[in-house]
Amino acid sequence: MGKLIFVTGGSRSGKSSYGLEIAKSNSMDKLFIATCIPEDEEMRKRVLLHQQSRPSSWNTIEVNEELVSVLSKETAKDLVIVLDCLTLFVSARLINGDDEKLIRHKVEEIVNIVKNGRSTVIIISNEVGMGLIPDNKLGREFRDIAGFCNQIVAAGSEEVYFMVSGIPMKIKG
């Protein structure tokens, strides 16, 4: 049976670093699933920094739309998988025209795949609901859907960590 660990927090709170720390403490082979497909120079630089922060021995898969099928395949193995990040998956789905019901269904599917697999999966996500209320409909819709998706993952997780200024606070498990 798979294990799900959820790490959430604000931007630059240390979520990804902490997720990597958890993964490194496990002796199983590692897989990093990146949901960010960089489309501009600034994002390519961010991705490069993320790549440099993990050991070169880790396998990496860059995926977004195919995330559910990739997880189905990879969680059948004895691995530690870091999925970074759920928020980018949700935003890409929203921008590509998926409605809230479909996005939430896909996240529920992700949780079920992990629970029925053999891997330990660490999902990283931004906690976007603690800032300003977005000034446009798409921004508010994204914030709401991301919040609901975070709740789905947290409910299905054995452990949940909330990152504040680089400090992990264990809030479940």
**Which residues are part of the catalytic machinery?**
50
Distances (CA, A) of 101 to 77, 145, 149: 30, 9, 11
**DSSP codes joined into one string, 17-40:** HHHHHHHHTS-SEEEEEE-----S
Distance CA(105)–CA(125), nearest Å, equals 17
- Torsions phi, psi for 163 (to 5 deg): -95, 130
Cβ atoms of 105 and 71 closer than 8 Å = no
Cβ atoms of 114 and 2 closer than 8 Å = yes
Distance CA(40)–CA(21), nearest Å, equals 28
Distances (CA, A) of 168 to 24, 29, 126: 16, 24, 14
